[in-house]
A and B are shown apart, each in its own frame.
Chain A
């Protein structure tokens, strides 16, 4: 199975002004040279902490941002700089579900209009839209009469179901899920997660699942990429990564999972210091300041992403 989506050396910089008296233009290097591919039918989990660039990658794939450099390929075609009609065509294949169930739905629109929006944008008639919306509501296990209601009448979990329904309305092949359950209670979270899994099987979807919650990512993904400060530090099959993470940052991340069982506590790896800002990243390895296994050369030279085992990539001088 070939890759459905691929990004090659993607860079996205945001120019910002820094300094008070002397304004200096610096780049916020949100994504600084990331490459990976997602096979059809897979769920690719992208993990990292805040500011690592995972959300930005999702937005570049959705073409909400245009990359500063690098390429985005979809189904073999270069979609990096599409505009106009070609962009619309691309958008038919890729949709998204975002984190905040309260902010992602226009509070003044009825639910059927919200779900049917992508269809209405394509010029479908109201009648056809309503029919399709009924189908979709069924698919996400919501009662069909809620089409007439407003978002604020629904709970957070139900709103995410609506967001999923909307994402599915035009039959995309690929869905970007950006922290869809982080703001939900445990009871809603489990039903949404089950639904995401179920829909993938049923509709043959491919997912990019972005999250900082490692337990959830493990539950959903078959391949996982760990990001730190705009770069990919480890990329491997999910089982391999969770079994034996190699990069010091991955290990610290996995050690930070809070396991809901008082008898099973992971070995603590406590990193010193804070998450680095992507504004002026250091020259060498970005994890240098917090790494507990530094050796000579880590400070000056940036480690490249190398394949140390089949399909297992890592960017670290230790390997």
Chain B
């Protein structure tokens, strides 16, 4: 409000009036094209997918092939490094770069599958809690309270302890612990949707409750669920990394970023590249996921329509 009428003087300068409008229209078109795609996020996600899908084609070496003679070689720009092993090798002589590329597979699978499982569970429970209210809502909410009060690592340890490590089991653990984030938000949306007029109209029309949930409520909460999901991808990857770090993740010798972090920990002081590069990979991927999630949230928000 402070910059109200006075600032108009800049926008107004009578000399420019004609040009002003045309200039705005051209800028508008450019801005329009640019804003559609979040460049950085798209790039990162693309890179990730390419690595995951085409790993055998891209990776210079076999990620699990050991070559103790080549152990602990530094990255190529340092003394002792070579172009054969661009980012150096680990303690067992395995190429870091190739392991990172193959590790993307684990991250992609865990990221997407984890989000899917927890997302579906969480959204379903949220919708049910929000629409029905009453006792059902109470039970589900108490459940979320319980889940939130227990540290997820503890639960993960307990479950993995019972069923053993491995990729599928990690996804199960993620599903069981991470659904809560969705439920709270989706429940809130479902609750307000349930009071809206078009739901009343559906009831009057004689639509059954399961159809209302499926056809009316679910599609309208999907937006939020998707946004939450994309923001969660990063969380899943970090989760997997944490579990692998603790030795509860994927079984060696499969390359996983978390596992690489764990292995590289002891070597940090003198062979920093073992842990640093997987760490960077995790950070960039999580960043990409967050940027994508942010952009999606803005794109899907109907109030965002009117902005220059």
Contact = CB atoms under 8 A, between A and B. Distances in A.
Question: A and B: partners?
Answer: yes
A88 B206 contact: yes
B7 interface: no
A95 B206 CA distance: 10
Interface in A234-253: none
A109 B207 contact: no
A107 B204 CA distance: 18
Nearest to B196: A103
B222 to A, nearest CB: 9
Contact of B201 (A94, A98, A107, A108): A98
B208 interface: yes
A5 to B, nearest CB: 15
A316 interface: no
A94 B196 CA distance: 20
Contact of B198 (A88, A91, A95, A103): A103
A122 interface: yes
A59 B195 CA distance: 13
Given A64-B200, A98-B200, A121-B211, A106 B220 contact: yes
A146 B201 CA distance: 20
Most buried by A among B197, B202, B207: B197
A104 B207 contact: no
Interface in A92-151: 92, 94-96, 98-100, 103-109, 117-118, 120-122
A220 B216 CA distance: 33
A122 B201 contact: no
B197 A117 contact: no
Most B C-beta atoms less than 10 A away, residue of A94, A105, A106, A109:
A106
B203 interface: yes
A104 B205 CA distance: 12
Contact of B205 (A59, A99, A117): A117
A286 interface: no
B30 interface: no
Interface residues of A, number: 27
Given A103-B198, A106-B198, A121-B211, A91 B220 contact: no
Contacts of A109: 215-216
Contacts of B201: 96, 98, 104-105, 117, 163, 166
B204 A103 contact: no
A255 interface: no
Given A106-B216, A108-B219, A118 B205 contact: yes
A300 to B, nearest CB: 39
B207 A117 contact: yes
Interface string B87-126: 0000000000000000000000000000000000000000
A95 B211 contact: no
Among B198, B200, B203, B219, find the residue whose CB has the most chain A CB atoms closer than 10 A: B198
Contacts of B200: 59, 64, 96, 98, 104
Given A100-B197, A107-B220, A91 B215 contact: no
Kindly name the residue among A62, A95, A99, A103 whose own CB sees the greatest number of chain B CB atoms within 10 A.
Answer: A103
Interface in B172-227: 196-198, 200-208, 211, 215-216, 219-220
Interface of B: 196-198, 200-208, 211, 215-216, 219-220
Given A98-B200, A109-B216, A122-B206, 11 more contacts: A59-B200, A64-B203, A88-B206, A91-B205, A96-B201, A100-B197, A104-B200, A106-B198, A118-B207, A121-B206, A121-B208
Interface of A: 59, 62, 64, 88, 91-92, 94-96, 98-100, 103-109, 117-118, 120-122, 163, 166, 170
